[in-house]
Structure 1
Amino acid sequence: MEAICAAASWASPSTFTRFYNVNVAASHPLGRALLQGLLDPLKDADQAAQEPPDPPTLPSDPGDDEGGDEGGDEGGDEGGDEGGDEGGDEGGDEGGDEGGDERGDEGGDEGGDEGGDEGGLCEGGAEGGADEAHGAVSLVEPLDWEDFTPEVSLESWKTSFRFRCPSSGAFRCSSTGLVFVVSKEAELRYRTVQWDEALLQSSGRTPAGPLYDIECPERAVCELHLPHCEPETADLSHCGLAVAHISDSGVTFLEPLRITQSHVVVRVSGLSVFGLVWQILDWIYHKIKSVSGQVLLFLAAKNPLSQLRKLNVLLLPWNVSVDEVETKQRSTTEFIDAPSRCQLVVDQHYSVTCPSAEIVQPERALFDMDNEPNYPPLFQLRLPPESSRVSIRVREEGRSEEVWSHELDLPEPSLSRGDSPPPPHADPRSLLRSVRIDFIEKVSEPVLHQLLDLLQQEEVLNPGEAESAREKPRAEKARFVLDTAVKKGQRAASVLIRGFCRLDPSSELRGRLRTKV
């Protein structure tokens, strides 16, 4: 396998390994062809397929005559731009004349395409699948949508979003970038869930973005726009994107109704779990896969002993929600707002340089799309306490130019968010003991679940302890959390205090924990 990777000049064998496991181990003919040296003819065919394509058009229905593509039959050709001949004028806006165009609900012929996209989105049509023809990808601008800010809730460290659409129309979530086209007033509930790549293996596909579990009790969603991370220079007609639809019956793949510069659009008739996927063969042919990415920065408080400050650097695809990442990081760090967009290569190594940092670790790290559910940092910098401005550079291995750079003015720790540690002279265990009764009585169930996740993440609790605590009643759970942190020492108590002050900043206990000696 290493010889094959070297001969093909892949920067990293991980993509090929994934392809090998999927297609060769499964005795897939494409895998056997690869090992038999037959990939070159496939590459030649792929290159021929990438000749400048003709302008995309929707296929004619078998029932249409030669003039159907222009808006109707020959007798109504002059009226094609208006939707068809006189006999089919009423159907023109939905796809062509009544005589033969059954694709009106998908945009219809050229004369009725605009009306189909904007006026008939929820008026018919079934959800597309892998065996259902949606027609050519249409690289059109997105619909006009109304932005909304969803209601966000956090339960057991899982972020959920909620919004009620006031009427029919297109609505875009400011947190996730998802666009919902609805036929009437309706409530939307959605959250990200973790991919199970085993579901994708037999089809030779890999995740291309977050996976969303979407509910709408009114069943009013007829179109779904999922944000992609294709770079601005990408040829969207050959990007290999599709939408995985996961339900109780398994996984199906929906071909896009259209792809815009920001979203992949599919028609849906029912909701469950949806996410973008790529064809792995697209990576095999072209050896690299570039994506539009983002660099996110999270700053922790000064360490009370070393006084160093920790800066976490995350490299993520552009279509990952910053709000959700911040939710996962906020218990111990503070998000630093900075220009973040860049272009990254999947399965490529990167490095970070910062002259002011005392430590940058690791020296190099691999960027991939597998970053859920916790979105861990790819790099961590340790900054001296006197640092007020630092210069950060991200470089791709083997290239001298920078992928991303920023001159960062470090903020002071945000006291309102509970970033600073307890006073050096205060034993955090004593602080916890002093508020024990009130903590047990007043801390809420959601905060306790988040504290359990935090204590497990910081290795104060092991998975068995955390799982056992979750099954206890609220008061017993609060007693266990506080008493365990006290028993496990000053560091464990400090983690609990910082986490509680961050997660419940309005609690009167916060002031007592931060000031009482």
Structure 2
Amino acid sequence: MEKLNITECRIVDQGLFQCPSAGLFQCSITGLVFRMEGEGEVLYRTVPWDRRLLAQSGKRPAGPLFKFTCLNGSICQLCLPHCEIYPGDGCDFLSVAHVTDDIIEFLDPHEITETHIIINITGFSAYGLTKDKEAPVFPIKALVLLFHRPSDDPELESVLYVLLLPRNVVLMKVQEERARRNGLRETFIETTSDCELTPDQTYSLSTDGYHQTKKFDTDKDYENYTTTFEVSLPAKVKKAELTLKKKKNIAWSTLDLLSSLFVNPPLPAATPARPPTFPGRDFITKHRIALETRLGLLQPILLHLEECKVLNAEEKEEVDSKSTKTLQNQALLDMVVRKGARAQEHFYQVLKKVNPYLVEDLEEQTV
């Protein structure tokens, strides 16, 4: 298997990928690679797998499921990152799922490199890697991710959450999901995380005063990002060595694990929060007339707003159904304003990502 030769790479914003010319371009967040026939823009995001559809075909996920929209230009190849380590060139158990609504088809790879599965494409919707349920079990490239939750009382134990995940998960999505579930008190620990692990095999994690054994289960790791080990750390501990083993063989370890967590003193008790401010509300009020005619491409804005639950599919279709661009803009602004300050703030933040020059120009006019 030859290593994929990426000639250029450029990531513009989360989910919005711009390619200035023909060639290969890689997203630094997801590891996706696009072969463009010319200049273009691609909008994409991860979406949940329909495991019922996969199970009916004897398949299971082997990577995230990505939903794509090509805003401009044309893509002729898509390269999806994988985490397999082959004992030779055997790869018959891998395929790419092409998902459109409730229809799923499985595409044979055009080529497999050390890092990516390459397919030729002519249309869009959703693509993701799958593996036969009865595929042989080989070691895969994996990650050991650590999240630390300090105690509110420095005299009490803190908790270290250890996640064993395939390496082709989207790390940013893991961090976002952990933050959504557990709030901002949990800290992601930057450390060497790469290793090789064998699915469905048992691993033991140990440190001073702690030893636990769990199975490396990859069945739902591309969506749930569940904790594998939960380690209670003694109060005021300054140093710890963490070791992951399969039987007597060390699969991963880190030394002086906690030193970075105690560089700064513990956070003081939280002060009463100030009422939140929403600059987005003022922005729409001040620039409503200009926004009705200058929003530019609506699709990336609508997709982002749908993803963060500001709009639903029916509301998005209602905006799309308007006969002119100005009427579409007006309909979108009306919906956002009716939903209140938080929806207007989401709209403002999305517009700053998708059309930063417009926001900058409008805000300069009010300085």
Q: TM-score, normalised by structure 1?
A: 0.50
Residues 344 and 197 of structure 1, relative CA distance in 2, 3 Å threshold = same
Aligned-pair identity in percent equals 31
Shift of 1:372: 3.8
For residues 483-514 of structure 1, what are the alpha-carbon distances to aligned partners after superposition, in whole Å with 9 as ceiling and x for unaligned?
A: xxxxxxxxxxxxxxxxxxxxxxxxxxxxxxxx
Query: In the alignment, does 2:214 pair up with 1:376?
Result: no
In 1, the alpha carbon distance for the partners of 2:242 and 2:18 equals 41
Identify the residue that residue 295 of structure 2 maps to in structure 1.
none
Identify the residue that residue 403 of structure 1 maps to in structure 2.
251
Q: Is the 8 A contact 2:202 2:213 kept in 1?
A: no
Identify the residue that residue 302 of structure 1 maps to in structure 2.
151
Query: In the alignment, does 2:42 pair up with 1:188?
Result: yes
Say which of 242, 256, 261 aligns to 2:109.
256
More helix by share: 1
Say which of 117, 120, 139 aligns to 1:267.
120
Say which of 14, 17, 32 aligns to 1:163.
17
Say which of 3, 6, 10 aligns to 1:148.
10
In 2, the alpha carbon distance for the partners of 1:305 and 1:390 equals 17
Identify the residue that residue 60 of structure 2 maps to in structure 1.
206
The 4+ residue runs of structure 1 with deviation greater than 4 A are 419-422, 443-446
In 2, the alpha carbon distance for the partners of 1:263 and 1:163 equals 18
In 2, the alpha carbon distance for the partners of 1:318 and 1:239 equals 20
Identify the residue that residue 236 of structure 2 maps to in structure 1.
386
Say which of 197, 222, 230 aligns to 1:344.
197
Query: In the alignment, does 2:168 pair up with 1:315?
Result: no
For residues 64-106 of structure 1, what are the alpha-carbon distances to aligned partners after superposition, in whole Å with 9 as ceiling and x for unaligned?
A: xxxxxxxxxxxxxxxxxxxxxxxxxxxxxxxxxxxxxxxxxxx
Q: Is the 8 A contact 1:414 1:420 kept in 2?
A: no
Identify the residue that residue 287 of structure 2 maps to in structure 1.
none
In 1, the alpha carbon distance for the partners of 2:38 and 2:160 equals 46
In 2, the alpha carbon distance for the partners of 1:236 and 1:149 equals 31
In 2, the alpha carbon distance for the partners of 1:389 and 1:473 equals 49
In 2, the alpha carbon distance for the partners of 1:350 and 1:194 equals 28
Shift of 1:252: 0.7
In 2, the alpha carbon distance for the partners of 1:280 and 1:189 equals 31
Higher relative contact order (CA 8 A, sep 6+): 2
In 1, the alpha carbon distance for the partners of 2:41 and 2:278 equals 32
Residues 229 and 476 of structure 1, relative CA distance in 2, 3 Å threshold = closer
In 2, the alpha carbon distance for the partners of 1:275 and 1:371 equals 14
Residues 394 and 182 of structure 1, relative CA distance in 2, 3 Å threshold = same
In 2, the alpha carbon distance for the partners of 1:275 and 1:302 equals 39
Shift of 1:365: 4.3
**What secondary structure, in the 3-state scheme, does the structure 2 residue paired with 1:201 have?**
helix
In 1, the alpha carbon distance for the partners of 2:155 and 2:43 equals 45
Q: Is the 8 A contact 1:164 1:186 kept in 2?
A: yes
Q: Is the 8 A contact 2:278 2:342 kept in 1?
A: no
In 1, the alpha carbon distance for the partners of 2:132 and 2:243 equals 32
In 1, the alpha carbon distance for the partners of 2:94 and 2:174 equals 24
Letter of the 2:106 counterpart: F
Shift of 1:324: 2.2
Residues 249 and 374 of structure 1, relative CA distance in 2, 3 Å threshold = closer
Q: TM-score, normalised by structure 2?
A: 0.70
**What secondary structure, in the 3-state scheme, does the structure 2 residue paired with 1:381 have?**
strand
Shift of 1:305: 6.3
**What secondary structure, in the 3-state scheme, does the structure 2 residue paired with 1:146 have?**
coil
Identify the residue that residue 136 of structure 1 maps to in structure 2.
none
Shift of 1:414: 8.5
In 2, the alpha carbon distance for the partners of 1:474 and 1:374 equals 31
For residues 188-221 of structure 1, what are the alpha-carbon distances to aligned partners after superposition, in whole Å with 9 as ceiling and x for unaligned?
A: 1111111111111222111111111111122511
For residues 36-86 of structure 1, what are the alpha-carbon distances to aligned partners after superposition, in whole Å with 9 as ceiling and x for unaligned?
A: xxxxxxxxxxxxxxxxxxxxxxxxxxxxxxxxxxxxxxxxxxxxxxxxxxx
Aligned 1:225-236 pairs, distance under 5 A: 225-231=79-85, 233-236=86-89
In 2, the alpha carbon distance for the partners of 1:300 and 1:239 equals 42
Residues 325 and 249 of structure 1, relative CA distance in 2, 3 Å threshold = closer
Identify the residue that residue 38 of structure 1 maps to in structure 2.
none
**What secondary structure, in the 3-state scheme, does the structure 2 residue paired with 1:302 have?**
coil
**What secondary structure, in the 3-state scheme, does the structure 2 residue paired with 1:329 have?**
helix
Identify the residue that residue 293 of structure 2 maps to in structure 1.
none
More strand by share: 2
Shift of 1:321: 1.9
**What secondary structure, in the 3-state scheme, does the structure 2 residue paired with 1:281 have?**
coil
Shift of 1:316: 0.4
Shift of 1:278: 1.1
* Runs of 5+ unmatched residues, structure 1: 1-138, 153-160, 451-471, 478-517
In 2, the alpha carbon distance for the partners of 1:390 and 1:250 equals 50
**What secondary structure, in the 3-state scheme, does the structure 1 residue paired with 2:135 have?**
helix
Residues 333 and 234 of structure 1, relative CA distance in 2, 3 Å threshold = farther
Shift of 1:420: 5.8
- CA RMSD in angstroms comes to 3.2
**What secondary structure, in the 3-state scheme, does the structure 2 residue paired with 1:269 have?**
coil
Tell me which structure has the larger Cα radius of gyration.
1
In 2, the alpha carbon distance for the partners of 1:350 and 1:303 equals 31
For residues 410-448 of structure 1, what are the alpha-carbon distances to aligned partners after superposition, in whole Å with 9 as ceiling and x for unaligned?
A: 323688xxx96552xx7x6xx24xx3xx33x548799xx
In 1, the alpha carbon distance for the partners of 2:52 and 2:162 equals 29
In 2, the alpha carbon distance for the partners of 1:210 and 1:422 equals 39
Q: Is the 8 A contact 2:154 2:235 kept in 1?
A: no
Aligned 1:42-191 pairs, distance under 5 A: 139-152=1-14, 161-191=15-45
Identify the residue that residue 327 of structure 1 maps to in structure 2.
176
Residues 443 and 292 of structure 1, relative CA distance in 2, 3 Å threshold = same
Letter of the 2:240 counterpart: V
Shift of 1:325: 1.6
**What secondary structure, in the 3-state scheme, does the structure 1 residue paired with 2:261 have?**
coil
